[in-house]
Structures are given as C-alpha cells and as structure tokens.
Structure 1
Amino acid sequence: MSKFDYSHLDGHLLQLLIAVVEEQSITRAASRLGVTQSAVSHLLGKLRTIVGDPLFVKSGRGIVATARAESLATEARALLQEMRRFATVSEFDPASLKATFTIAANDFQRDLLLPRLFDRLRSSAPGVCLRVISSDIPSADMLRNEHCQLVISPRPPDSTDILQKRLFEDEYRIFHDPDRRGAPAGLEDYLAAEHVTVVYHPARALDFDQTLLAQGIKRNFVVTVPGFAGIPAFVRGSERLATLPGLLRTGLLHDLASAPLPFSGPRLPMYMIWHLRYSHDPAHGWLRTELEAVVPQALAAAADELTGGV
C-alpha cells in the first residue's frame, strides 16, 4: 500500500487520470488538457506513487489503462462532480426550507416588524419557524455563539466580524395620560414632571436618556422598567411622562397621548445586525431581504393608523 500522503490529490490529477484513460494516449491527453507531454508524464508519475499502481502499460505503439486505472477514473469522475457541487452556490428555494430563525429584538421592534415578517416568510416558506428572544443590550457574542441569527437594535456591537444595515429612523416623543394632564408647555414644565423610562440589564439606560444627561438635561426618574411593555401601567392614571420612540404610538402605547419634544433631541436609528459568517448564506440573505421588505409596509401602516386612514 502506498504511504504517499493522499492529501496531495487534487482536481488537476483527477482530470489528468480521466483524460489519459479516455484518450489512451499521453500526447492526445496533453493536447486536451493544454499542457506539455512532459507535464503529463511527470504528473502521472506522482499519481502512480499516490495510488501504488502503474496505471498505464504499453500496448503495441500505445498505452492501455490498467484495471485499477479504469476503476479510479470512475471514482475520479464522481469526485470531480462533488468538487463542482462544492464550489457552486446551489439555487435557493424557500419553499423547500425547513428552518427556525432566531431573531433578537425588544418589544418595540418585535411588535412593529416581526409579525409582518413571519407572515411574509411563511407565504413562500411554509416550513419556516420563528423564535424571538430579548435583545437587551446586544453583544457580538450573541451572534458569534449563534444564540441568534439576526438582531434588530439601535445599538450595533462594535466589532469587525459584526455587520449591520440601517432599516429605518424614528423620532422620540413624550407620552402622557390625556385624562390626567396635557403635553408639557415647554422645557421647564417637562423637567418639572416625574418621568418613567426603560433601563435594560445590565443597568444601561436608553441612548436618548444618556444623551440628554450628557447635555445637562436632568430629569426626575421615579420609575424604571426593563422593557417598553412596562411603561403604560406607570403613566396611565398619573401625571408622569415617558419619552420614547414615537412609533410606539401605534403599538404598546396606543392608548396614551403623545407630543413632540420641547427641545431638539436625537433621532433613533434602527439596524439589522448579523455575523460575518452569514454574509453569503442564501437562506440568511433571503431572511434579511424579507425583513427589509416589510419595513416600508410597517411604517406605512403605522402612518395610516396615526392619520386615521385619511
């Protein structure tokens, strides 16, 4: 048995073997492959060493393949087909996909985008399931360790192996109970009120809250909750205020009144975020495309709801 390292086999050697077997001539094989006869002879010597067989023997003025060479040529054709399949991106068919996509999002992004996304996915891929987990403060490790395939967040982790694309941008608005108070008359009235906000685990306030604090705008926070769903219960029936993404008017905070800020504040970008390993994955690329497609639909539906369909 040959002790030659089989890893020295490559597609060129396999093609060479097939050409010589089929042509029964080193000269014709060299012409077919576009190389010199000496190159064919040299590579045949290498292949003989690997497989431990003469492969070809003289027959009259020509050569003939050994039984081993004929058998190996059959295997070589199958191997080359596998190599071609390995190097070719297969056509992606959503209808045949059986998969569960895990997406990390907070309650705001979840309610705004994911029900619509799921309906769109299932319309062309009935075998797809969706698992939604909390994004909190998203980390690169969430994606590196495959806790999820996609994150929706205004806070992309800063890492060279994490990719992002902006989905939309929202404005912040002040939410209040219209039965208990009106919108703040100005900055002084705004700062005099008690405020409710979101603080994720670990203790990290919304970017908006951190930005205002850095500008010296200090508010009296009397309640912090771990997600947007906890806000209405602490604002409803009180004079407290909550300053949050305006699109929450069409979802979790639909029964509260809202008003613009009495000062110039930052806007809220929203990104989809994924790991570099998925950049060329057909199924993941399809998922990202479908998510992008539902964003204008979701925003248009939100705008229509706010204007009463007018």
Structure 2
Amino acid sequence: MNNFDHLNLDGRLLQLLVAVIEEGSITRAAERLGVTQSAVSHLLDKLRGIVGDPLFVKSGRGIVPTARAEALALDARVLLDELRRFATHSDFDPARLKGHFTIAANDFQRDLLLPPLLDRLRDAAPGLSLRVLPSGVPSAEMLRDGGCQLVISPRPPEAGDILQKRLFEDDYRVFFDPRQRAAPAGLDDYLAADHITVRYEPHRGLEIDQVLAAQGIQRRFVASVPGFAGIPSFLRGSSRLATLPGLLGGGALYGFASAPLPLPSPTLPMYMVWHLRHRHDPAHSWLRGQLEAVVPAALAAAAPGG
C-alpha cells in the first residue's frame, strides 16, 4: 500500500492517463495536451506513485499500457465526464444544443428508427444533426473512445462499463417473390430452395443462420450480401428465399411476401447501447428518450399492413 493521499488525484492526471493511452505515445500526448514531454513524464511519475503501478512499459520503440492502466482509464473517462457535468449549468434545454450526435447502426435499425428520430430532433433541437456510422460488430471501444455516443444493435458488447436497454424485438420470417412462388409448404420445401442471406463480415452472419446451423439445419446459400438493402435484387423474379427480420417487410423488402419459418426460431432483440460515462449526461439522456419515443410508431409503420 502506498502513502499517497487519493486527494492528490485531480482531473489533469486523469486526462493525462487517457491521452497517453489513446495516443500510445508520450510525445503525441504532450502535443495533444499542449504541454512539454517532461511535464507529461513528471505527471506520469506522480500518477504511478498514487496508484502503485508502472502504468506503461516499453514495447519496441513505443510504450504499451499495463492491465492496471487500461482498467484505470475506463474509470478515468467516467470521472472526467462527471467533472464536466459538475461544472455545467443544470438547466437543460434541447433547443440550445449545437453540433452532431453520432449513432452506429446497421441498415435494418438505421432505416427503421433514425429517419423518424431525425424528424423529432429537428423539431426540438434544430441545432443538432445526426452522424450515422455502420456498427458492424459493435465493440466496447467504439463507445469508450468517443467515436460514437450510441450504438443500436442486436448484439451489445459485453463489458462492465457498457450500458444497454432493449428497444424492441422482432420475429424472423421467410421472404419470397409472390409472383414466382408460394410460401414454403413445410420444412422440406424450405430446405429444398436456394437461399440468400446477409453477411456483414467474413466470420459474422445473421444470428438466425448461426442458430439454425447449430441445430443441424442445412440450407443451400447461393449468395450473401453485406446488408439487407442487397437482398431484393436477388429475390425479385426468382424462387429463392431469404430468412430475415420480419419488420423489413415495411422497409427494404416492401412488396415481397413473407411467411413464418417452418420450424421454431428465436426472436431478434434490438438494444440501444451507450457508455457508462453518459449515464447522467442530460443531453444524452434526453436523446435516448427521443429514440425510445419513436419506436412504437416506427414498428407500427413497418408491420404488415402498417
């Protein structure tokens, strides 16, 4: 146990730790913070004494953080945001918001939820814009490093500093071109067809594909595309099938017919995911509430007959 008083720890030391970890270099951290390298080294020595850990070790020509430093940086980001909140006026008015809010989402949740969210934001916060990124396979680091403030995904990353809330769930359905074929008459008919699917990355497909494969259900995939928007051109004018979230029937797959799967299948949950440091941030809390508020109408519009 060291003899340093924890009250010696201040926001500048926390900021320093985060900067060195994110930059991977004392030189670049010094440039980012607008101080000298010797000042960074001196403050790092002070922080090492407080926490009782070397924090960074040499690796080749650079430095890498210790496991303790990585863990402390997670807490440091939260504490820095709490300090900013402490110093910010408590009266929150969305009409005064300026700048952009970055949300990561793949095409299904993007097209379903974000256009109505933007309409709602423009009414209440005309100075706020949305920046939308593909979420791919969401990682905790996407939220930790500030690259985006919110992720919408069926697969939240598992980490102690990541929070989530379920927005809705959807059923998987079998889509087809009704001008070319009828719905599968049963499991044998379903398995005899050619299938189209979505594969975002070489080793990451749809959860339904993984579940059915684990059950020994073997389908003949003749094509895979990197997003749901690519499915219609492969279904149209053919007898192929695509097993996808049912709400796509009101979006990318509007005009195609769909039927229940001829076998038991899981539902598709959808979550909004954010970093712990935004837990009490009034602007972030407000925006999460706006997203939740658009869900019922978006689901109703995308439902069959909506």
Q: What TM-score, normalized to structure 1?
A: 0.70
Q: Which runs of 4+ in 1 moved over 6 A?
A: none
For residue 252 of structure 2, give the secondary structure of its aligned residue in structure 1: coil
Deviation of residue 89 (structure 1)?
Answer: 5.6
- Give the distance between the partners of 1:230 and 1:86, measured in 2 at CA: 47
Q: Which amino acid aligns with 1:215?
A: Q
Instruction: State the partner residue of 1:257.
Output: 257
Deviation of residue 274 (structure 1)?
Answer: 0.6
Instruction: State the partner residue of 1:294.
Output: 294
Q: Which amino acid aligns with 1:144?
A: R
Q: Does 1:244 align with 2:221?
A: no
Matches within 5 A, 1:144-293: 144-293=144-293
Cα RMSD (Å) of the superposition? 1.8
- Give the distance between the partners of 1:87 and 1:114, measured in 2 at CA: 31
- Give the distance between the partners of 2:202 and 2:284, measured in 1 at CA: 30
Q: Which amino acid aligns with 2:232?
A: P
Q: Which amino acid aligns with 1:117?
A: L
Instruction: State the partner residue of 2:131.
Output: 131
Instruction: State the partner residue of 2:109.
Output: 109
What stretches of structure 2 of length at least 5 have no aligned partner?
A: 1-6, 9-82
| Cα offsets for 1:157-203 (capped at 9, x unmatched) | 01111110000010000000111111100001001111000111242
For residue 117 of structure 1, give the secondary structure of its aligned residue in structure 2: helix
- Give the distance between the partners of 1:287 and 1:202, measured in 2 at CA: 33
For residue 234 of structure 2, give the secondary structure of its aligned residue in structure 1: helix
| Cα offsets for 1:116-149 (capped at 9, x unmatched) | 0001011110100001111111111111112211
Change (3 A) 1:86 1:262: closer
For residue 151 of structure 1, give the secondary structure of its aligned residue in structure 2: strand
| Cα offsets for 1:191-219 (capped at 9, x unmatched) | 11110001112421111100001111111
Q: What TM-score, normalized to structure 2?
A: 0.71
Asked whether the equivalents of residues 248 and 302 of structure 2 are also in contact (C-alpha less than 8 Å), the reply is: no
Deviation of residue 299 (structure 1)?
Answer: 1.3
- The share of aligned pairs that are identical, in percent, is 70
Instruction: State the partner residue of 1:122.
Output: 122
- Of structures 1 and 2, the larger Rg is shown by 1
Change (3 A) 1:182 1:265: same
- Give the distance between the partners of 2:194 and 2:202, measured in 1 at CA: 23
- Give the distance between the partners of 2:295 and 2:148, measured in 1 at CA: 20
- Give the distance between the partners of 1:91 and 1:301, measured in 2 at CA: 35
Q: Which amino acid aligns with 1:225?
A: V
Deviation of residue 269 (structure 1)?
Answer: 0.3
- Give the distance between the partners of 1:131 and 1:257, measured in 2 at CA: 33
Deviation of residue 88 (structure 1)?
Answer: 7.0
- Give the distance between the partners of 1:141 and 1:209, measured in 2 at CA: 27
Instruction: State the partner residue of 2:305.
Output: 307
What stretches of structure 1 of length at least 5 have no aligned partner?
A: 1-6, 9-82
- Give the distance between the partners of 1:88 and 1:135, measured in 2 at CA: 31
